[in-house]
Amino acid sequence: MTENKKQMLLGLGFTGAYGANAKAWKSEGVNSNTYPDIKADIRYDQLAEKGKFQFLFVGDFPGAVPDDNSHVPSMTLEPIITSTTILQQTKHIGVASTVHTQWNFPYTVARQFKGIDLMSGGRIAWNAVTGSSPKVAEHLGVNLMDSKSRYENHYEFVEFILK
């Protein structure tokens, strides 16, 4: 009889400022003026690595700045910089970094991920997303493509990088 050795993969998601509780940033003792705090992120990553997590997910929400102080700030640090910093401060855990295909150039993204892949010993992954925010498009000075065009461009972008 063969033994089934299934394992659960654990990942830590960095997709916002203060976790799943939308009101956590207003808690006593939280200094929202220090967000984003890369030193805190590194501590969380090192703890996740110690806890045998396999990967960290670094989301990207460019332009996600609230209009007033009634909502949690959710602007994340740039994912490539965050991922590189995390990988330099950890030894085994992988990082899945979000990079939009609509806001970037394929050659640049390929160079970034190839460099991080070599420096980290293969611990980087790419979460390729199209980007669909009119506000971000406006901030970056580009026109937001319609959904069909975005996905056609996305497919072409990813295919170029994988060659």
In our burial notation (b when 16+ CB lie closer than 10 A, e otherwise), range 72-86 reads: bbbebbebbebbbbb
> What integer pLDDT is reported at residue 110 of this predicted model?
96
Higher pLDDT, 70 or 44: 44
In one letter, which amino acid is 129?
V
* Predicted TM-score (pTM) of this structure: 0.83
Mean pLDDT of the chain: 86
Give the whole-angstrom CA distance, residue 118 versus residue 124. 9
Q: Write the DSSP assignment of 9-27 as a string of letters.
A: --EEEE-SSS-S-TTGGGS
> What integer pLDDT is reported at residue 139 of this predicted model?
84
pLDDT band at 133 (very low <50, low <70, confident <90, very high): confident
What mean pLDDT is predicted for residues 52-79? 74
CB neighbour list of residue 89: distance below 8 Å, 6 or more residues apart:
42, 45, 46
Model confidence at 151: pLDDT above 90: yes
Report how far apart the first and last C-alpha atoms of the chain are (Å, whole number).
43
